[in-house]
Chains A and B, each alone.
Chain A
């Protein structure tokens, strides 16, 4: 018990714990839609894209969250636009847009070497440096995104299931996709400080993939994915404190470990799932 209470005595740990739990739940929520749309790579790509935006906003003196968020949102819209050209697939669109955006950040850093150290935090996370202001931003993003998913639940579900058909039934799919891109960009910006650019994709993909192994019910998938994400965020923080490990990496490794256990157990127990290729799950 003392092992749990001791770190809570530190303000930085309390902030970090709250941030990791909220970001875990948030990524778990949006990750369900990302995984079901077969766009797992978008988390990885957008986080790199946002990094470019963070560098640019630093250079022109903009607020980090505003600049990086806007850059991420525009990148997501651009990916959607390129994907809709049919001849370029979603994976290629993500690769083109986001790596170009990341390259902008890298090029600018190489030009202005003075602030390289600041961006190491963005790349690998700096959860122990989460301030009250950061926590307020993360909380706000979590509440707004969760409310938006609640209100747009039916439209988002139909668009995720089949965007083309949803449009013929009167669902404003372009607005739904734009809203989702905005929510995803905001989530990635909020998560940057917690897990870092390089590990955000894991926070988005592993919780819903784990939850998908144990349920076929969409509502339960959302709840379970959020729960796994939040649990891994909080649990990972304690593990990183006890074993003195990098917190972002510990969170991702814990989530991966849970995924491995659930995968093994369900694989052995359920012959039907065993017959399905993993990519279908």
Chain B
């Protein structure tokens, strides 16, 4: 399913918003990422794909200053990122299981947290804060759930709540770690549509995803990582989703289903899977 937002032209500027130069980082003595370089232009929408354990989440956390740097340099929005100096004006959507959902706060309380640095010294919301929070909840379609305890939210609602918390501070960069994981089709499409809208508004977006068929194939730019945590290809999906890259990425042979009429990979709005392992392809007689 392709959203209308995806059909509009994007406004990618040439100036880089994110620059990673020859970065090696990790926890303790063992590096997780080795000698990784990456440039993300301002306003770009980048998807990071790769097998489990490839270091996708670590790459995202690097941008936030959450992973100790061994060597190399990271700049985000012109700021040199270190553990003591996370980049300003960034919205982060972590994986759902990273927090305690039994914590006694409402959805609105959690969303307001994303605005903490911009609020006054008092515990209560100003009129402007209230307006911004309400508009953000409305945009995510969860205004009616504002007073609900977070432990009473479904998985899809929790994803939207995280997104609302990231957006309520009007970030210029959005970093998302599998924002559509375990979502139903409707939630997944709504989230992708919203992200496309934000991309067209000029927000730089970097997200990880495991969903090659339904998410990654629709993104403007992809960064492919293999199990050695190396960036093996980057570019638009039509360029990087080749059998060679996919097979290197996942360490198994993959087949791309072709459109019978024109011989090109199936269109991104195809309802079914376009990338199959050889075993799957044989099973369905392709």
A residues within 8 Å of B by Cβ?
36, 86-87, 150-151, 153-155, 157-158, 161-162, 164-171, 212, 215-218, 221, 276, 280-281
Contacts and interface: CB of A to CB of B under 8 A. Distances in A.
Nearest to B117: A170
B149 interface: yes
Contacts of B98: 162, 165
Interface in B99-119: 99-100, 102-106, 109-110, 112-114, 116-117, 119
B141 to A, nearest CB: 23
Contacts of B113: 154, 157-158, 161, 166, 169
Contact of A212 (B66, B90, B104, B116): B104
B30 to A, nearest CB: 13
B220 interface: no
Contact of A36 (B103, B106, B109, B149): B103
Given A170-B117, A216-B149, A165 B92 contact: yes
B169 interface: yes
Contacts of A161: 99-100, 103, 105, 110, 113
A224 B251 CA distance: 57
Interface string B34-77: 00000000000000000000000000000011100000000000
A171 B171 CA distance: 15
Interface of B: 27-28, 64-66, 86, 88, 90, 92, 94, 98-100, 102-106, 109-110, 112-114, 116-117, 119, 121, 123, 149, 151, 169
A150 B124 CA distance: 10
A222 to B, nearest CB: 10
B80 to A, nearest CB: 16
Given A151-B121, A161-B103, A170-B86, 12 more contacts: A36-B104, A150-B123, A154-B123, A157-B105, A165-B99, A168-B90, A170-B116, A215-B104, A216-B151, A218-B105, A218-B109, A221-B104
A168 B86 contact: yes
Given A150-B123, A221-B104, A167 B116 contact: no
A171 B102 contact: no
A169 B65 contact: no
Dominant SS at the B interface? Answer: loop
B66 A171 contact: no
A166 B98 CA distance: 13
A37 to B, nearest CB: 10
A176 to B, nearest CB: 11
Contacts of B100: 161
B164 to A, nearest CB: 13
B97 to A, nearest CB: 12
A218 B86 contact: no
Contacts of A276: 102
B88 A170 contact: yes
Nearest to A167: B86
A217 B103 CA distance: 9
Nearest to A85: B28
Most buried by B among A162, A167, A216: A216
A216 B64 CA distance: 31
A162 B119 CA distance: 18
Given A161-B99, A161-B113, A169 B104 contact: no
Q: Which 6 A-B pairs rank lowest in CB-CB distance, beginning with the nearest?
A: A170-B117, A153-B123, A168-B64, A158-B113, A216-B149, A216-B104
A218 B112 CA distance: 13
A230 B60 CA distance: 46
B121 to A, nearest CB: 6
B116 A154 contact: yes
9 contacts: A86-B28, A154-B116, A161-B110, A162-B98, A165-B92, A168-B86, A169-B92, A171-B116, A276-B102
A99 B151 CA distance: 37
A281 to B, nearest CB: 7
A164 B88 CA distance: 15
B117 A86 contact: no
Contact of B116 (A87, A166, A218): A166
A280 B103 CA distance: 9
Contacts of A36: 103-104
A154 B88 contact: no
Residue among A155, A158, A168 with max Cβ neighbours from chain B (10 Å): A168
A217 B102 contact: no
Nearest to B175: A168
Nearest to A155: B116
A106 to B, nearest CB: 35
A167 B102 CA distance: 21
